Amino acid sequence: MEYNPSHFPGGNRPVENISWEDCKAFLDSLNILDPAWIYRLPSEAEWEYTCRSGSMPRFYWGIDMNGDYCWYYGNSEGESHPVGEKLPNFWGLLDMTGNVLEWCEDSWHETYDGAPVDGRAWISGSGAERVIRGGCWNYGDILCRSAFRYSFLENWANDYLGFRIVRVQR
C-alpha cells in the first residue's frame, strides 16, 4: 500500500493505472488492517444505482452533457483531476462519472439476462473480463452517461482506469 501506480499522482487525484487484480490485493490489505469493516469493490448494480442517485435520464444530472459535473475529453485537458472539483450527484457523491473509469466486482456479461436481482455481484463465466463503469477524462461525453458499461481483462491497467471502494461494517 506504499506504492501508488498512478500516472497522474498527487493532489487528491484518484488512483489510476491499476488493474482489477491490483484493486483486489489492495482491498485484501485494507481488510486485514481494519477488521471492523469490509472493504470491497461495488457490484455493477450498486455502482449504477449509486451513480444515478434516483435519476433516470442519460446522465444523472439530465439529458445533455454538462461539464460542471464530470471530467471528460471535452474539458479534462488530457489528464485526471483532483476529486471534488465537479458538482456531486444528488446523493452528494463525487466524480461518479468522468475522471477515471471504475472497476466493479462483476464478471463481464453482454446482457443482464440471468443477473442477480438483489444487487450482489454477478460472478460467473469463463473469461477473465471484469465490468468497468463511469466514463473518464479521455472518453467522449456519451461514454460518461450513467448506463455506460464496458469490460477489460482483470490484469489490464491504464491511466484512465481506477476504482471506488465500498465500506460495510462487519
**Which domains, and CATH codes, for the chain?**
20-112+122-169 (3.90.1580.10)
Interior angle at CA 1, CA 101 and CA 133, nearest 5: 10
Chain Cα centroid distance, residue 45: 12
72-85, pLDDT tens digit by residue? 999 999 999 999 99
Per-residue pLDDT, 3: 83
Mean pLDDT, rounded, of the chain: 95
pLDDT in tens, 11-25: 899 999 999 999 999
> For 86-119, how does the pLDDT look when each residue is reduced to its tens digit (9 = 90+)?
999 999 999 999 999 999 999 999 999 999 999 9
Cβ burial of 20 (10 Å; 0-12, 13-18, 19+) is: buried
